[in-house]
Amino acid sequence: MTNSISKVWSLLVSIWQRANRPAKYLSIGFLTLGGFVAGVIFWGGFNTALELTNTEEFCISCHEMRDNVFSELQSTIHYSNRSGVRATCPDCHVPHNWTDKIARKMQASKEVYGKIFGTISTREKFLEQRRRLAGHEWERLSANDSLECRNCHSAESMDITAQGSRAATAHQQFLFTGEKTCIDCHKGIAHELPDMTGVPGWK
C-alpha cells in the first residue's frame, strides 16, 4: 500500500522536474505559438461550455426549473405576445458583461449543489424557498438598476404617448427621474410570487 503511494509520488515528482526544466530541443517560437494555440483552444472551450449553459434548454433540463418557474413563465407576456419576441431565462437572469457573468455562474454552482442534494426537489420544497430565491433576484436587479430588463427595454426609447395612462404617469414620475427602477414596480412579471407580506409596496 505505502509502496504504491510512494511510487505514484516519485512519478509525479519526475514529471514535474521534466516540465520545469528549460526546453532543450524546442524553439522559443514554437513554445510561444504552441502556448498561444493551446490558450485559444482552452479559452474557446471554456466559453463554449459557458454558452451552452447559458441557454434556456440547459436551465429547464432540471425538472425543478421546468415544472415550477418555466411552466409559470409560459402564460406571461414574456413568453407569448403579439410581436413574437420572447425573453428566455438567461435574458433576465444572466448578466451580459463578462465579469458579472462569471460571478453569477460561480453563484449558480451553489444551485447545482442544491440540485444534487435535492434542496428544492418537490414543488412544496420549492415554494418554501421561493421567498428567499425571489429576494436574491430582487436584490440583484435593484443593485444593478434592472440592467437585464434594460437590455431589452430602454427608458430612452419608451414612447409614453403610446402607453396606457397608468404606465405613462408612473414612468414619468418615478422612472425617468431615477427615483425607482423597473423591479421596484414590476415584481412577478415572469413567475408567480412568493408570500409578499413585508415586501415594500405590497399589502
Partner 1 sequence: MNIKFFISLFLCGALLVGGIALADGVANLRGGKDIGTEPDAPAVGKIEDKDLKRVRNYPEQPPTIPHDIRDYEVTKNANKCLSCHSRSRTGESQAPMVSVTHFMDRDYQVLATISPRRYFCNQCHVPQMDVKPLIENTFVDVDELLEQETSGND
What does the binding site for ligand HEC look like in residue numbers (CB under 6 A)?
Answer: 56, 59-60, 65, 69-70, 73, 77-78, 81-83, 85, 87, 89, 91-93, 130, 133-134, 137-138, 146, 148-153, 155, 163-167, 170-171, 174-175, 180-191, 193
| CA gap 64, 53 in Å, rounded | 16
Nearer to partner 1, 54 or 181 (CB): 181
Q: Which does 67 bind (CB under 5 to 8 A by kind): partner 1, ligand HEC, none?
A: none
Q: CB–CB of 137/93 below 8 Å? A: yes
- Find the distance separating the first CA and the last CA of the chain, reported in whole Å: 67
Residue 158 is a binding residue for partner 1 (CB under 8 A): no
Residue 62 is a binding residue for partner 1 (CB under 8 A): no
Q: How near is the Cβ of 180 to partner 1 at its closest, in Å?
A: 9
Alpha-helical (H) ranges within the chain are: 2-20, 28-52, 56-59, 63-64, 71-73, 89-93, 98-116, 123-143, 147-152, 165-170, 182-185
Residue 166 is a binding residue for partner 1 (CB under 8 A): yes
Q: How far is CA 20 from CA 13, 14, 16, 24, in A?
A: 10, 10, 6, 11
Q: How far is CA 195 from CA 71, 130, 155, in A?
A: 19, 9, 30
Residue 139 is a binding residue for partner 1 (CB under 8 A): no
- Cα-atom radius of gyration of the chain, to the nearest Å? 25
Query: Can you tell me which of 51, 135, 169, 178 binds partner 1, judged by CB under 8 A?
Result: 169
Residue 203 is a binding residue for partner 1 (CB under 8 A): yes
Q: Which residues contact partner 1 (rule: CB under 8 A)?
A: 75-77, 164-166, 169-170, 174, 188-189, 192-196, 201-203
